[in-house]
């Protein structure tokens, strides 16, 4: 049993200069065999292991990660959480996640700094206005809080936005989801890792998967840089590298991996207390608790695993940011980075069984996976444990690309890439 | 950001170009006879290679012509460009 984090443990450890905190998770060598191996130690993978142990009573679980946990897209996103998706299937999926977020810090005994500061999506042309109004109605029918705001209401909610009718893409209105917000991305990975570790999950870092061993149409194990691991169930949560892993098993996926960039400014005093996203001009911004502006840029249109991205993408985003927020004109940007996102043709994820027995994929989250982390882990764990999808992820199967029953969230998902 | 040697215009900035995805996907000769699985394969499934990939590009803010490229997707290094209809380089 791990020591509980509390005000008392904080005071107690202060006396020893915080040098004697118990390790949050072990660093084990892999065992010879596991009941389930999760490939990918990001938020989704760790959450999957956590819920497999917690809700499905599985004990012999490993998470293998080629780098360090949370070092991929979990630590590279802009931490936005919302559930205002258009289609019923997406609304169910993302709101399931949002409901778990609301109690996650308590459940994990780890402060994920979930802050329901609201997410506002702006409209810049008549089609935007129609789309956003339609989405507001769809959200409400699905029990998701959403309101449509006119230009004055947008200005009132976030006064630093330039709502002048004279700018190139004037603000014509917007939607607001008040339950939406942000969370501390690293803490999500660390909290799930600590929780999973406590229930006996082996988190094996610096362990890259080299091949997947198959016996006919079933999996038998994985060859890794730390040796062979025998297992009958493999859950792949490898984000941008999903196609690489699929290729090892002889499976084809409908994914393209592209760089998605983000950047942060120097820290300043509180200036924006919400998240504002703009689809049409592709700019979104929030402020971290450290005071940095966190700005999300777009994806490049070419396949790349280089975690870099093109400069003109960042330039385009900053142009839009400056037009919408003239107050930021003298802000200096501190850091810029890229993450490799796996994008599905319909911009919806895949949480699915495959044609290979014992091989499951959780991928295709594209540019918006962070918000779904708890829900994704919960539903993927259900799918792996029962060899059947949960009703909330049934629509997100791999077979939809054959049947044509796509969940098209391009554009409809409030921000398009 | 990288430079692309357009086979028609010469070296230009990548921002002048539009990526057109995986190259050499052949359109089905008899679409009416395709099964759903074959349609899915043609329309959606992609190699998405980490390493040497063959792809199509369009010089959209230049000559607007399509051409092919061989590129290492792990570091964005361009190995070769060649015109549509030409055979891809062997090495």
Query: Touching check for A68 and chain B: CB below 8 Å?
Result: no
pLDDT of residue A417: 45
Per the domain annotation, does B88 fall within a domain?
no
Q: Say which of B1, B44, B71 has its CB closest to residue A254.
A: B44
Give the model's confidence band at B87: pLDDT under 50 very low, under 70 low, under 90 confident, else very high: confident
Q: How far is CA A402 from CA A54, A71, A87, B47, in A?
A: 34, 34, 20, 17
Q: Which of A198, A116, A185, A120 is nearest to A374 (CA)?
A: A185
- Residue pair A285/A308 in contact (Cβ under 8 Å)? The answer is no
Query: Touching check for A244 and chain B: CB below 8 Å?
Result: yes
- Average pLDDT of the segment spanning B11-32: 95
Round to whole Å and give the CA distance between A36 and A399.
Answer: 23
A72: which chain B residues are within 8 Å (Cβ-Cβ)? none
**Interface predicted TM-score of the whole assembly (ipTM), two decimals:** 0.95
A306: which chain B residues are within 8 Å (Cβ-Cβ)? 73-76
A253: which chain B residues are within 8 Å (Cβ-Cβ)? 45-46, 48
pLDDT of residue B2: 86
Q: How far is CA A329 from CA A122, A156, A168, A255, A313, in A?
A: 20, 21, 17, 37, 18
pLDDT of residue B88: 86
Residues 94-113, chain A, touching B (beta carbon < 8 A): none
Average pLDDT, chain A: 95
Compute the nearest-CA separation of A406 from chain B (Å): 11
Per the domain annotation, does B12 fall within a domain?
yes
Strands A80-81 and A256-265: unpaired
pTM, full prediction = 0.96
- Report how far apart the first and last C-alpha atoms of chain A are (Å, whole number): 44
Q: Which residue of A has its CA nearest to B15?
A: A312
For residue range A145-157, list pLDDT tens digits in order. 999 999 999 999 9
Q: How many CB atoms lie within 10 A of CB B20?
A: 17
A404: which chain B residues are within 8 Å (Cβ-Cβ)? 36
Total number of residues shown for chain A: 417
Per the domain annotation, does B90 fall within a domain?
no
pLDDT of residue B90: 74
Compute the nearest-CA separation of B10 from chain A (Å): 20
Query: Touching check for A123 and chain B: CB below 8 Å?
Result: no
Query: Touching check for B61 and chain A: CB below 8 Å?
Result: no
The domain that holds B66 is classified in CATH as 3.30.2270.10
pLDDT of residue A338: 95
Q: Which of A265, A390, A340, A383 is nearest to A42 (CA)?
A: A340
Per the domain annotation, does B72 fall within a domain?
yes
Strands A33-34 and A227-231: parallel
Asked if A303 and B43 come within 8 Å (Cβ–Cβ), the reply is no
Partners of A297 in the β-ladder:
none
What domain range is B32 assigned to? 3-83
Query: Touching check for B5 and chain A: CB below 8 Å?
Result: no
Residues of chain A with pLDDT under 50: 417
Query: Touching check for A405 and chain B: CB below 8 Å?
Result: no
Asked if A252 and B45 come within 8 Å (Cβ–Cβ), the reply is yes
Asked if B75 and A306 come within 8 Å (Cβ–Cβ), the reply is yes
A243: which chain B residues are within 8 Å (Cβ-Cβ)? 46-50
pLDDT of residue A1: 62
Per the domain annotation, does B11 fall within a domain?
yes
Domain count, chain B: 1
Compute the nearest-CA separation of A32 from chain B (Å): 29
Q: How far is CA A79 from CA A214, A366, A382, A412, B56, in A?
A: 37, 14, 25, 20, 34
Query: Touching check for B3 and chain A: CB below 8 Å?
Result: no
Judged by DSSP in three states, B31 sits in: helix
Round to whole Å and give the CA distance between B44 and B26.
Answer: 13
pLDDT of residue A3: 82
User: Which runs of consecutive H residues, i.e. helices, occur in A23-150?
Assistant: 43-55, 88-108, 126-141
Q: How many CB pairs under 8 A join A and B?
A: 71
* Structure-block tokens of residue A341: 């996102």
- Residue pair A378/A44 in contact (Cβ under 8 Å)? The answer is no
């Amino acid at each position: 049993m791990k020591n509980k984090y509390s005000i008392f443990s904080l005071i107690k450890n202060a006396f020893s200069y915080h040098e004697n905190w118990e390790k949050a998770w072990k660093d084990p060598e892999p065992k010879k065999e596991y009941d389930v191996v999760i490939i990918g130690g990001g938020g989704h993978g760790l959450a999957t292991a956590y819920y497999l142990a917690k809700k499905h009573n599985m004990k012999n679980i490993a998470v293998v990660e080629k780098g360090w946990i949370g070092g991929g897209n979990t630590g590279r996103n802009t931490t936005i959480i919302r559930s205002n998706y258009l289609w019923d299937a997406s609304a169910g999926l993302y709101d399931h996640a949002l409901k778990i977020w609301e109690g996650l810090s308590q459940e994990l005994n780890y402060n994920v700094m979930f802050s329901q500061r609201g997410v506002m999506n702006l409209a810049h042309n008549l089609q935007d206005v129609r789309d956003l109004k339609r989405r507001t109605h769809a959200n409400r029918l699905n029990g998701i809080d959403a309101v449509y705001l006119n230009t004055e209401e947008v200005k009132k909610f976030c006064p630093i936005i330039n709502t002048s009718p004279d700018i190139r893409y004037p603000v014509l209105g917007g939607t607001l989801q008040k339950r939406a917000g942000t969370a501390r991305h690293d803490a999500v990975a660390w909290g799930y890792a600590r929780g999973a570790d406590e229930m006996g999950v082996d988190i094996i870092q610096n362990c890259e998967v080299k091949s997947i061993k198959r016996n006919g149409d079933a999996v038998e194990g994985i060859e890794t840089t730390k040796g062979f691991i025998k297992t009958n169930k493999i859950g792949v949560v490898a984000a941008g590298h999903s196609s690489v892993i699929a290729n090892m098993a002889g499976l084809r996926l409908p994914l393209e991996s592209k760089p998605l960039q983000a950047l942060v400014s120097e820290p300043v005093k509180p200036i924006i207390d919400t998240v504002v996203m703009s689809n049409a001009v592709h700019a979104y911004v929030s402020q971290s608790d450290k005071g940095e502006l966190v700005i999300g840029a777009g994806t490049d249109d070419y396949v790349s695993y280089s975690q870099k991205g093109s400069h003109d993408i960042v330039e385009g985003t900053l142009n839009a940011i400056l037009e919408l927020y003239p107050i930021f004109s003298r802000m200096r940007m501190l850091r810029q980075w890229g993450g490799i996102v796996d994008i599905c043709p319909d911009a919806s994820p895949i949480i699915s069984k495959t044609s290979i027995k014992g091989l499951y994929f959780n991928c295709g989250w594209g540019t918006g996976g962070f918000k779904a982390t708890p829900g994704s882990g919960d539903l993927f764990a259900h799918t792996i444990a029962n060899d059947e999808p949960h009703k909330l992820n049934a629509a997100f199967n791999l077979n939809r690309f054959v049947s044509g029953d796509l969940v098209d969230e391009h554009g409809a998902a409030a921000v398009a890439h | 950001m990288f430079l692309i040697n357009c086979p028609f215009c010469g070296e230009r900035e990548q921002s002048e170009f539009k990526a057109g995805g995986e190259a050499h996907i052949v359109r089905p000769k008899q679409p009416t006879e395709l099964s759903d699985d074959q349609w899915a394969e043609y329309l959606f499934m992609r190699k998405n290679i980490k390493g040497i990939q063959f792809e199509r590009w369009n010089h959209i803010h230049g000559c607007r012509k399509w051409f092919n490229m061989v590129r290492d997707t792990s570091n964005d290094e361009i190995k070769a460009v060649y015109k549509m209809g030409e055979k891809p380089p062997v090495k």
